[in-house]
Structure 1
Amino acid sequence: MKHRILYAFLPLGIAALIPTQTSVQAADGPDTYRQLDQLMDVFERVRSEYVEEVTDEQLLEGAINGMLASLDPHSSFLAARDVENMRTQTDGEYGGLGLSVTMEDGVVKVIAPTDDTPASKAGIKAGDYITHIDDELIYGLSLNEAVEQMRGPPGTPISLTVIRPGETKPLEISITRAVIELKPVRWEVTDNVGVIRISTFNKQTGPATREAIDAIEKKVGKPLLGYVIDLRSNPGGLLDQAIEVTDAFMDNGGEIVSQRGRAKGDVLRYFARTEDQTHGKPIIILVDEGSASASEIVAGALQDHRRALVIGARSFGKGSVQTLIPLSTDTALRLTTARYYTPSGRSVQEAGIEPDIVVPQLTDASRRDRRIVRESDLRQALRNSNVEDQSIVEDDAKANPRFEITTEELEEKGIEDYQLHYALDILGRLTGKAEVQTASAGN
């Protein structure tokens, strides 16, 4: 029996592999065959009469890319170079800038820069449009071609022309490529709270998260108040790692995520298989508009089980799963084949994960006027029929009066990250209340 491999993708990220049976539907009907004949007629005309000579490979790859681009933003054809790029990113090391990008109307759009990479240090921001690489216009290139130009030997320079919403002129940003070692997890302890920053979901993320929990508990001991899991600007990645990260904070048997395909019975469910490694300590999860895919799986599962309080901004809303179907020894088809759902049955496609408490990032002044880009803004994005109130998709929550403090005022108070500060404050107040209640009960 022929098999295919299932992945959950962001534009530059992958998720876990699951073998499943392949079903093939033969095209039927005279109209289909007529249209196929027409396709071959166009192929032959272009091949013989186009102003410049083009190869059969070039034409066929273009036809395939056009077909897949008409479906959704995440289905694509992977040539040999693209398959290799995907492997290097999943393994967690490559030469380049450290960007997660997508394509919108022929323009490369930044979803998020990765922490501590040349792109983030140079000031590239989510929502930026990259129009030129080394002064050459890249409009019209495929996403994979643009990504290939941005990658290169460590130590080599590259210049990006960036259009940033809210800026009147294009920005010229010079960057030096480096070896991008995607260390997916960093941790620190602040006020007896363990802060775990997860920047991506590659092969190291699950084990590194469990190691971070052990290290924090060893360092703090009994005074540990709880954990903040920072998933902001995390573009996603491997599905099995999202499941393992969630499993670390849940008890055995709880559902983490399900994926549902085209057929009614095509449903796969994933459950926690170990005990809660944190022993029930309070958890707050930070998300923003750059938290996507695997990040939304983690946030959605822990939110549904009331295991964590989610704060920040509504997440990206990428709730589809892609299957990697090998076509030859070095090419593959990446095809959207399912949607994933949180344990309560929510599809986050378009709608994203709504925080329990909306908290803007007041310490980043550029966010106040910058247009936010999410899955629902991408051309051909899959629609979510269960989202009845489209304002949830189209509009962000209006500013709350309690968040009228300015960036300058926060700087004067020494607050560098307002959302994290807010999370730490909530944890302190929650655990303080718990101690009072326990003492009262003891009396």
Structure 2
Amino acid sequence: MRALSLLIPALLLSSSLTAQAVAPAAPVADAARPADTYKQLDTLMDVFLKVRETYVDKVDDKTLIEGAINGMLASLDPHSSYLDARDNANMKSQTEGEYGGLGLTVTQEDGAVKVVSPTDETPAARAGIKAGDFITHLDGNLLFGSTLNDAVDRMRGTPGTKIRLTIVRPGSAKPMEMTLTREIVKIRPVRFEARGAVGLIRIASFNRQTGPATRDAIASLQKSIGPSLAGYVIDLRSNPGGLLDQAIDVSDAFMTRGEIVSQRGRAKEDIQRYYARGDDLTQGKPVVVLIDEGSASASEIVAGALQDSKRALVLGQRSFGKGSVQTLLPLSADTGLRLTTARYFTPSGRSVQENGIEPDINVPQLTDPDRKERPRVREADLRNHLINEKKADDKLIEDDGKPDPRFAETIESLRKRGVTDFQLDYALRLVGRLGPVQSAALAAGPAGGAAGGATPK
């Protein structure tokens, strides 16, 4: 049997997974089970029988058993769950990067559906739905109390059909009504373009095409920009994650050597390390990685690997903080168990869980007028999340109480300059400055400055 390792932050309307062989667990001898365990199982069966016999409405056995399974898994962490035939079918369509729906990554908080991030070039993104928004009604029907699967099923549907969403945005006085038209959501994992002498690579998700598409993007940008290419910006903002092997492949495209990520299970000796295979396709050009609170899991692997190896500068806001790996264990031909089986760590040994990736330069999104009011949803905000025993160190920074002059511009002044995305504009300008400096240093050789492809800091 095969098992699948997942790197996703929540139930996704656009998600992905990766294949990995896992040896079946050895059966536990009955003699090794504590007697108390059997008493608890007897209690579970007693509850099952009493509910089946005396509950006010008749409930079928399948519903009760699946409810017990889901309750058990929900008590572990936010990412472990039981996959019935419907969930497995959804997982397959998401893996292939195409489905009918709106293009949202969502989670559930206290019975309400909360947006983690919209997917690029989808109805949700075009409608202006943002991370942290709450979806309270679908076609006027209250969602509170429904399961997350039910909400997802109702938002998905036949392309061309419409659905009305009621959105509550923290900081806004009134709920917003949006009517969206479902369409075939083709998750295009990588987009790229030349911005002057800088190559911009936007990675929206990590599905089966992400690694090869990133390599193609690098080659295309080198061809279109030519020798004047100053460097690259990798935009991982609001990227919810996906395939572990694709995160490794993307990191490897920018590295010549060193560890990319390690995966550690329950046992002390259960450690698996992944390394760069060589050949930095960018030939040591400066790299800036953009992240925000929606950058999760596989995105954090890439950002952490390039940051720890001193291969890139990381800009933006602290990332989501999902540092766990889920394995899909088949139970039958059409059902499975998605179970958290490991944590992953950056090359320097940092656990991403709860802490996330802290950027080298914390750059606010000045062009977002709601940035101060909108809550930041991260792994640490999810119920029953895994605890990181080693919290991130608090940085002691001398503060003179004056605003940072780098971020003193207003939305109006930025608009006059034609800037609609301040974080991206900052990253592009930074690479534009670093490129000529590094080219001069490399041309001068060891006596002239840094060589070997490390990004100046």
Match of 1:338 in 2: 342
Residue 18 (structure 1) aligned to one of 17, 20, 24? 20
1:292, 1:316 within 8 Å by CA — same for their partners in 2? yes
In the TM superposition, what is the alpha-carbon distance from 1:106 to its structure 2 partner? 2.1
Match of 1:289 in 2: 293
Measure, in 2, the Cα distance between the counterparts of 1:113 and 1:420: 18
Residue 42 to residue 269, structure 1, CA distance change in 2 (3 Å)? same
1:43, 1:59 within 8 Å by CA — same for their partners in 2? yes
Residue 411 (structure 2) aligned to one of 396, 407, 410? 407
- Spell out, residue by residue over 1:183-226, the C-alpha distance to the aligned partner (whole angstroms, 9 max, x if none): 11111101210000000111111111111111101111111001
Measure, in 2, the Cα distance between the counterparts of 1:406 and 1:343: 38
1:323, 1:336 within 8 Å by CA — same for their partners in 2? yes
SS at match of 1:333: strand
Match of 1:309 in 2: 313
Residue 352 (structure 2) aligned to one of 323, 348, 352? 348
- Spell out, residue by residue over 1:253-304, the C-alpha distance to the aligned partner (whole angstroms, 9 max, x if none): 4211111011111111111224111111110000001000100000000111
Residue pairs, 1:245-394, within 5 angstroms? 245-251=250-256, 253-387=257-391, 389=393
Measure, in 2, the Cα distance between the counterparts of 1:7 and 1:424: 32
2:137, 2:165 within 8 Å by CA — same for their partners in 1? yes
1:282, 1:308 within 8 Å by CA — same for their partners in 2? yes
Residue 103 (structure 1) aligned to one of 108, 112, 117? 108
Measure, in 2, the Cα distance between the counterparts of 1:211 and 1:3: 30
Greater shift in the superposed pair: 65-74 or 429-438: 429-438
Does residue 89 of structure 2 align to residue 81 of structure 1? Answer: no
Measure, in 1, the Cα distance between the counterparts of 2:45 and 2:439: 74
In the TM superposition, what is the alpha-carbon distance from 1:389 to its structure 2 partner? 4.4
Does residue 195 of structure 2 align to residue 190 of structure 1? Answer: yes
Residue 334 of structure 1 aligns to which amino acid in structure 2?
Answer: R
Measure, in 1, the Cα distance between the counterparts of 2:271 and 2:123: 41
Q: TM-score, normalization: structure 2?
A: 0.91
Measure, in 1, the Cα distance between the counterparts of 2:108 and 2:162: 23
Residue 153 of structure 2 aligns to which amino acid in structure 1?
Answer: E
2:169, 2:175 within 8 Å by CA — same for their partners in 1? yes
Match of 2:227 in 1: 222
In the TM superposition, what is the alpha-carbon distance from 1:168 to its structure 2 partner? 2.3
Residue 9 of structure 2 aligns to which amino acid in structure 1?
Answer: L
1:290, 1:315 within 8 Å by CA — same for their partners in 2? yes
1:72, 1:380 within 8 Å by CA — same for their partners in 2? yes
Does residue 34 of structure 2 align to residue 33 of structure 1? Answer: no
Greater shift in the superposed pair: 379-388 or 279-288: 379-388
Measure, in 2, the Cα distance between the counterparts of 1:391 and 1:83: 44
Measure, in 2, the Cα distance between the counterparts of 1:389 and 1:166: 30
1:100, 1:113 within 8 Å by CA — same for their partners in 2? yes
1:185, 1:196 within 8 Å by CA — same for their partners in 2? yes
In the TM superposition, what is the alpha-carbon distance from 1:98 to its structure 2 partner? 0.4
In the TM superposition, what is the alpha-carbon distance from 1:25 to its structure 2 partner? 4.2
Match of 1:92 in 2: 97
2:259, 2:275 within 8 Å by CA — same for their partners in 1? yes
- Spell out, residue by residue over 1:27-54, the C-alpha distance to the aligned partner (whole angstroms, 9 max, x if none): 7222211111111111111111111111
Residue pairs, 1:167-178, within 5 angstroms? 167-178=172-183
1:188, 1:216 within 8 Å by CA — same for their partners in 2? yes
Measure, in 2, the Cα distance between the counterparts of 1:35 and 1:391: 47
Measure, in 2, the Cα distance between the counterparts of 1:369 and 1:289: 14
Measure, in 1, the Cα distance between the counterparts of 2:390 and 2:176: 40
Measure, in 2, the Cα distance between the counterparts of 1:399 and 1:319: 33
Unaligned runs of 5+ in 1: 393-397
Measure, in 2, the Cα distance between the counterparts of 1:274 and 1:182: 29
In the TM superposition, what is the alpha-carbon distance from 1:104 to its structure 2 partner? 1.7
- Spell out, residue by residue over 1:79-124, the C-alpha distance to the aligned partner (whole angstroms, 9 max, x if none): 1010111111110100000001112222211110001100011111
Match of 1:6 in 2: 5
Match of 1:395 in 2: none
SS at match of 1:45: helix
The root-mean-square deviation of aligned C-alpha atoms, in Å, is 1.9
In the TM superposition, what is the alpha-carbon distance from 1:383 to its structure 2 partner? 1.1
1:65, 1:77 within 8 Å by CA — same for their partners in 2? yes
Residue 134 (structure 1) aligned to one of 139, 147, 152? 139
SS at match of 1:186: strand
In the TM superposition, what is the alpha-carbon distance from 1:157 to its structure 2 partner? 0.6
Residue 169 (structure 2) aligned to one of 141, 164, 167? 164
Measure, in 1, the Cα distance between the counterparts of 2:3 and 2:81: 15
Residue 439 to residue 323, structure 1, CA distance change in 2 (3 Å)? closer
Q: TM-score, normalization: structure 1?
A: 0.94
Residue 411 of structure 2 aligns to which amino acid in structure 1?
Answer: T
In the TM superposition, what is the alpha-carbon distance from 1:8 to its structure 2 partner? 2.4
Measure, in 2, the Cα distance between the counterparts of 1:145 and 1:58: 14
